[in-house]
Amino acid sequence: MASGDLSGATVVFDLDGTLVDTAPDLVRALNETLDLEGLPRLRVDAVRKLVGQGARALIERASALSGVTFSADRLGELTHAFIDFYRADIAAHSAPFPGVVDELQFLAEMGATLSVCTNKRTDLSLLLLEKLDLARRFAVIVGADAVTDKKPHPEHYRAAVMRAGGTVARSLMIGDTSADVQSARAAGAPVAVVSFGYSDVDAAELGADILLHRYSDLSPVCRRLFAAPGH
């Protein structure tokens, strides 16, 4: 396809584990939070399987590994502490996955509009992407706080498409967890998952339409998908 043939298409990306390998900074902030309760620290590999539903859920999942459950009030306090720890050095060790920057450029040159649909807070998402010089590549960044119902609810995906000026009928979700798959599917959109993300199950078992092993495969996938009748 020639440049411009993705005009009118919206490609929606999850953030943590899809666009950016944020686990090293998430585990740093999480362990500083667990220290407040005297709980064992976790390794990066363990945290990669706990990410995807936001900071509060991350703390709940991490503490559950030690058999600890917090009251709603204490969990709220720990979530605020986590966010402060995380924001203080949000991109110290985080980096885009290999090939991300090139593919975002290719998709834009072909006319696609790009957006972010993440269960991370919008302000933290924007701060992270600005630190990595990626924010300017997206029409909108829609965090969990920017919608009534976050992923896996379809409202979140629809918002990421429509606020970017697109239509769900000509859109594609790129994610790494079941929440991404369920949100796009319920909205009526196709979804691709990366095999190197933060899912707690094998990516091949998530039921996505497309499995991506490397970002260099994304633009060819988009060419084929959006050239098909109905897209």
Q: Which of 89-93, 171-175, 185-189, 223-227 is predicted least confidently? A: 223-227
Enumerate the CATH 3.40.50.1000 domain ranges in the chain, comma separated.
10-22+94-227
Is 48 or 80 the better-scoring residue by pLDDT? 80
Distance CA 137, CA 188 (A): 25
**Cα of 41 vs its chain's centroid, Å:** 24
- 170, 12 contact by CB (below 8 A): no
Domain 23-88, classified CATH 3.40.50.80, yes or no: no
Tens digits of per-residue pLDDT, 140-151? 999 999 999 999
The mean pLDDT of 97-126, rounded to a whole number, is 96
Q: Which residues are catalytic?
A: 14
- 11, 112 contact by CB (below 8 A): yes
pLDDT band at 117 (very low <50, low <70, confident <90, very high): very high
Q: Give the H or E element holding residue 123.
A: helix 122-131
For 70, half-sphere exposure in the C-beta direction (CA atoms, 13 angstrom radius) is 23
Which CATH superfamily is 10-22+94-227 part of?
Answer: HAD superfamily/HAD-like (3.40.50.1000)
Percent of the chain with pLDDT over 90: 87
Enumerate the CATH 1.10.150.240 domain ranges in the chain, comma separated.
23-88
DSSP, res 111: T
Strand partners, 212: 194
Look up the pTM and report it. 0.90
pLDDT band at 34 (very low <50, low <70, confident <90, very high): very high
